[in-house]
Chains A and B, each alone.
Chain A
Amino acid sequence: MDNQIKNITNKYLNSKHRLMDIFHDIQKKSGYISENDIKSISELLNISSVDVIQTLSFYHFFKKKENAKYNIYINESIVAQMYGHKRILQAFENATKTKLNSISADGNFGLYSTSDIGMGDQEPAAIINGVIFPKITTYRVKEIIKEFRKGKSAQDLVNSFGDGHNQDNLIRSMVSNNLNRRGRVIFSGYNSEDALDIIVDKTPEEILHVIKESNIRGRGGAGFPIGLKWQYCRQATGKTKYIVCNADEGEPGTFKDRVLLTELPKRVIVGMIIAAYAVGASKGIIYLRKEYDYLIPYLKNSLTEAEKNNLLGESIKGRKGFNFDIRIQLGGGAYVCGEETALLESCEGKRGEPRNRPPFPIEKGFLDNPTVINNVESLCAIPKIICKGAEWYRSLGTKQSSGTKLLSISGDVLYPGVFEVEWGMTIKDIIDMAGGLDTKAVQVGGPSGKLISKKEFSRRIAYEDLSTGGAIIVFNKTRNILDIVMNFTKFFIDESCGSCAPCRYLTVILKNKLQKIIDGKGVENDLLELKEWGKKMKIANRCGLGQSAANPILTSLENFRSDYEDAVQSDKKYISSFDLEKSILAGAKAASRFPAV
């Protein structure tokens, strides 16, 4: 057996729950995970090879076949599309002399598409061998490929650093923060470590009380009260409790966690420590999306620093019995892993398929232990609440939505980037703040959220009105609503885990119907069917991804009905999208026939 594999699995104590890490290590060494590797892993971990393969095949950044020397993943999100994704893709195809989803003849270049990589404020962007290339132009494509042909590495081609800590020696990335507005909580100036000095003199119950009083709710999108979640987990029985930081922001259009992890990793860590203290947890996991793995050395260093300063480890801040440590779990490229139970499955080395709930993670989470899963932004806000108190925090925002919210604003605005605002701001003010002109539509909360039109621009972002995880994509009047909806619908098809049949099939049927309409072959009845079938998605799928996969279609049908009506032929009752000539091509060729239809 290969000694290299043995060393790697040994490093993870031959635990099947560390399958993700084992794959990452092997892929880093040899570029892909071979049949032999799979056999070795299954023997060493004492699991069947099918178990290895099912995890391996789930994540799109893992490769089972020999990889190219340079693997180019081009972002295909809607914002990338608006900023010239097609042009860039063509430029890459021409320069590398290869087609999308294939490897060039010389084995040098592999060209792939990927869902939103969290760079909505600097599109079009691509990931090449783990290095992020933002704001790519066709000129830059030629330059990159030319240099690669000379043997340069992707890191060699970093020709400028972004702002802030992107310039840190451990990051050295071209990514920019585009932090356009600092607010009074998350991006305010204070020392988050002060919060730890405060908590060690108090009981966990007192901390729970403050968090509950502050009325802070989860920032991932669902908005569950954080204090309650912590309290339930504290009350749950279990020897080892876990705090998991959900840094798998995959919702197209969101990129705030990227900036938080770059600029304020310590506040995230302190937030986790406070959670651990309040809940009585001893272990922490940061689940980081694969797209952000350029931040790993920097984040690991932040954890080491925290250990050195006795913020992590044993007897934290001198308080006996307060032990907590954190490890980073890297994902493999799957949007659905942002769903908390899918995330847990992934942490356990399995396919990222959502679990049935109940039981909820607070009772049976990571390896069936009581687990709190919080968004990066939620955790980042906690230290400030501890420092300034619940009442102060409640004075910000609205009645049901206290505090501030980070917005990731992208699309047709002059100043795309991250904005920290108080809850309660109107969509109109948000557009004006980011410099949107001639705005026709705004996608609030990413594809799983709502596409709203002008008549709703006076609505406010707040749990009592428009709740959101913070992704705001702005579209001006030149944009075609149906193209936007198509992009989002394809996204859900790509990212469905395939577990629930409606999410697996109906998404494709809906896409085909939408394509029929875009092709000018739609009739009134197609709109009716889109709506009726779309509604079924809400009741027939297990997780949020499936339940919201038809949201782009449903909300645009509601708010942009006339765009659809203009596209369908209203005088016809039925149009088929079937094309006989095209459909017999393959069959005729296979039988060596060249017929007249």
Chain B
Amino acid sequence: MNKPIIATTSLAGCFGCHMSILDIDDKILELIELVDFNKSPITDIKKFTRTVDIGIIEGGCCNSENIHILKYFRDNCKTLVSLGECAIMGGLPAMRNNIPIEECLKEAYLDGPSTHNPEGIMPNDEELPILLNKVYPCHEIVKIDYFLPGCPPRADLIWDALTALVTGEEMKLEYGVFKYD
């Protein structure tokens, strides 16, 4: 049987969830025995080279690029997993949701106490993605199959979930697994 293939990405996240994936320590050697990686910051593969089995999304959607990437993942992954608080609920970036985007940009680029911007230019290069009016959780954009909570989700939780997905065995969800305060 072919090894299952995994892809990962970080949208509006801090890469903390990816760090948690790496935090499975020496089990990463076992993991590599079990699976292959396709598009992912871990492999630095930029474009999907084939349809993959499991896509792991860190972070919510705060700009137009996040939306495109997320849809790109949905189109190329059989199963999509939201990993961590930001992907599931928007997380810290969503704290801006109650402040109009104009105000956020003004504070960041014009009025901030440490800002030096005498010409008053907002970042406007056409290469830059455009900010969304709010930060959205991934499941409001595309269908998400599984959610792994935590900030970040504990390494063991990620490991257990991945092995459950790969082996098809039911996952044990004990209370300790969800203790993440």
Seen from chain A, the residues whose Cβ lies within 8 Å of a Cβ on chain B are 573-574, 576-578, 580, 582-593, 595, 597
Contact = CB atoms under 8 A, between A and B. Distances in A.
Contact of A586 (B67, B101, B106, B124): B101
A589 B133 CA distance: 11
B64 A593 contact: no
A597 B102 CA distance: 20
Given A580-B67, A587-B130, 12 more contacts: A578-B136, A578-B141, A582-B133, A583-B134, A585-B133, A586-B133, A587-B133, A590-B101, A590-B105, A592-B122, A592-B124, A593-B126
A375 to B, nearest CB: 39
A586 to B, nearest CB: 5
Interface of B: 63-64, 67, 100-102, 105-106, 122-124, 126, 130-134, 136, 140-143
Contact of B140 (A577, A585, A593): A577
* Shortest 4 CB-CB contacts between residues of A and residues of B: A587-B131, A574-B143, A591-B122, A590-B102
Contacts of A588: 130
A574 B80 CA distance: 14
A382 B133 CA distance: 58
Residue in A577, A582, A591, A597 with the greatest tally of chain B CB atoms within 10 Å: A591
Nearest to A588: B130
Please classify the interface of chain B as helix (H, G, I), strand (E, B), loop, or mixed, using the class held by over half of its residues: mixed
Given A584-B64, A586-B100, A573 B143 contact: yes
13 contacts: A573-B143, A574-B142, A578-B140, A583-B132, A583-B133, A583-B136, A584-B132, A586-B100, A587-B132, A589-B102, A590-B122, A591-B130, A592-B124
A580 B126 CA distance: 17
A595 B126 contact: yes
Given A577-B140, A586-B102, A591 B123 contact: yes
A580 B122 contact: no
Contacts of B142: 574, 576
Contacts of B134: 583
B138 to A, nearest CB: 10
B122 A584 contact: no
Contacts of A582: 133
A589 B102 CA distance: 8
A591 B124 contact: yes
A578 B136 CA distance: 9
B157 to A, nearest CB: 24
Nearest to A591: B122
Contacts of B64: 580, 584, 597
A593 B105 CA distance: 13
Nearest to A587: B131
